[in-house]
Amino acid sequence: MALQPNLNGMPRFVYAVAGLAMMAWGFFFADPGFWHYAWPILGASLLIAGIVGFCPIMAMLGLGGKKN
């Protein structure tokens, strides 16, 4: 069973931009420690979701995608 994309258009773009922003924040502005590593990891997951077009959390909640 293939995963159906559930992010289209503007939400996909917002995910990618938010992911890049979170990664930049973690690399350049976060204080050393836990958040210095957590922000880039969270940002990378959003960036990947934006590029691929599939968000597992939205799929679990039944949001996004095509309506039947």
Domain-embedded: residue 5: no
Domain-embedded: residue 25: yes
The mean of the pLDDT values for the chain is 89
CB 6 within 8 A of CB 59: yes
Say what the pTM is.
0.83
**Position with higher pLDDT, 2 vs 32:** 32
Instruction: Count the domains in the chain.
Output: 1
> Is the pLDDT reported for residue 67 higher than 80?
no
| Tokens 């597992």, located at residue | 56
* Burial (CB count <10 Å: 0-12, 13-18, 19+), residue 59: middle
> So what's the pLDDT on residue 28?
94
Task: Tell me the helices (H) and strands (E) count for the chain, helix number first.
Answer: 3, 0
Domain that holds residue 16: 10-61
* Cα of 3 vs its chain's centroid, Å: 16
> Is the pLDDT reported for residue 15 higher than 90?
yes
pLDDT in tens, 19-43: 999 999 999 998 899 989 999 999 9
